[in-house]
Amino acid sequence: MLEAISLETEILNDNSQEDIFLKWLAKGFIDLNRGSIKVSGFPHPIEIPSVKMHFDPETFAIEDASLKIDRSDFRLSGNANNILSYFRGDSILRGRFSFVSDTTDITQIMELTSGLGSKDTTSAGQAEATKGDSVYTGPYMVPMGVDLLLNTNIKSASFGQDTASNISGDVRIKDGVLVLDELTFETPAARMQVTSMYRTPRKNHLYVGLDYHMLDVEIEELLKMIPDIDTLMPMLRSFKGKGEFHIAVETYMDSLYNIKKSTLRGASSIRGSNLVLMDGETFSEIAQKLRFSRKAENIVDSLSAEFTIFRNEIDIYPFLIVMDKYKAVIAGRHNFDMSFDYHVSIVESPIPIKLGLDLKGNMDDMSVDLAKCEYAELYRPVSRNAVENKQLELRKMIREILTQKVKD
């Protein structure tokens, strides 16, 4: 449906073609206002407040295009190339656009674009799998046969119950691969930056590589946003306050986005200061063993920890925690079954005796025993740059994927 349209065009006829898109070749300029399109299988009409575009058989040069889908609005400008070649099936569709939005519903955009261009009809994003009485829709399958770059500027976006604001950065879709390149955004809990690659070779074999950096994040909110972090670093449940969290990780997932733990590789770090150590958790028991002064709140002056993830194991590298009149170095390993083996060395305290503690077991059955101190009095852990190294691996992989040649 259209309310107003201005069209300047020249049409060429090629009778050798049977397809209507190939038989009539047009070029010119279109100025369209207040139009709408209904897409089969999609519940909301696509409203088109305005489009100004030069076109020919191979190129759409969009001066300005405004679109609205339910709660989402977009403004696009840029070029789409290889249009006719794409419909002939002998070229990939390419586009470079500026994407500006006041409000974006990411879930709806995923529903609209999932599985586009795929020859395998079973890979469509609307496929459903049942588990008990629940129905799961998904997963999102990255469009095939296109190479699109969106330079985004979004004021507000929603994804299910979550919201984000002031989103900017590049989104790239290239023949089954989705890349977010240094995308920055804000949530009620933190400021964030993410670089990631999502690849969907098969519906039940999804790859994600993620470099995720959160600044000024409330640790309690971090555990709500990424529940798996509780498994990777259960000690975080003992702290309250703001910190900096950084993770670089890669893994494969099934169609319900469950991590295939045998493929998990990554590294992470967390830093914070003036954190509150809460009662009733692992470190509270340590505090009692070491006779920390009893206060209304035990304040951890500083915390800086690094750990690596390999399959079912998480290695915690030696890190320093400063609390009360004590400085302690902590290191060890824990597993996804929540069993652990930690060592704590007191490297500075009011007591002239060096102390160590061994923590073994799990949260329901934990032993805390005095042990020989493993670290020297003046030992200070140094950064292993585990996150930075994993970050470089991921960026190299993304660069190689994006520079691979595809059929023109």
On whether the CB atoms of residues 266 and 248 are closer than 8 A, the answer is yes
Say if residues 385 and 374 touch (Cβ distance below 8 Å): no
192-224: buried (b, 16+ CB within 10 Å) or exposed (e) per residue? Answer: bbbbbbbbbeebeebbbbbbbbbeebbbeebbe
Confidence label for 402 from pLDDT (cuts 50, 70 and 90): confident
In this model, does residue 131 exceed pLDDT 50? Answer: no
CA 293 to CA 251: how far, in whole Å? 43
Task: Give the three-class secondary structure for 57.
Answer: coil
C-beta neighbour count of 115 within 10 angstroms: 21
**Closest C-alpha among 233, 206, 212, 207 to residue 316:** 233
d(C-alpha 245, C-alpha 222), whole Å: 9
pLDDT for 132: 38
User: Which of 95, 214, 74, 215 has the alpha carbon at shortest distance from 154?
Assistant: 74
**pLDDT band at residue 1 using 50, 70 and 90 as cut-offs:** low
Q: How confident is the model at residue 349 (pLDDT cuts 50, 70, 90)?
A: confident
Positions of E strands within 89-240: 93-105, 128-131, 134-137, 146-159, 162-174, 177-186, 191-202, 205-218, 239-240
Q: Among 102-116, 122-136, 247-261, where is mean pLDDT lowest? A: 122-136
Alpha-helix residue ranges (DSSP H) falling in 8-116: 20-23, 83-88, 106-113
Across the strands, what pairs with 322? 302, 327
143-182, pLDDT tens digit by residue? 999 999 999 999 999 998 889 999 999 999 999 999 999 9
DSSP 259: B
pTM of the model: 0.85
Report the range of poorest mean pLDDT among 162-171, 188-197, 270-279: 270-279
Supply the DSSP string of 262-319, one letter for each residue: GG-EEEEEEEEEEEEEPTTSHHHHHHHHHTPPP-SSEEEEEEEEEEEEETTEEEEEEE
Strands 93-105 and 146-159 turn out to be parallel
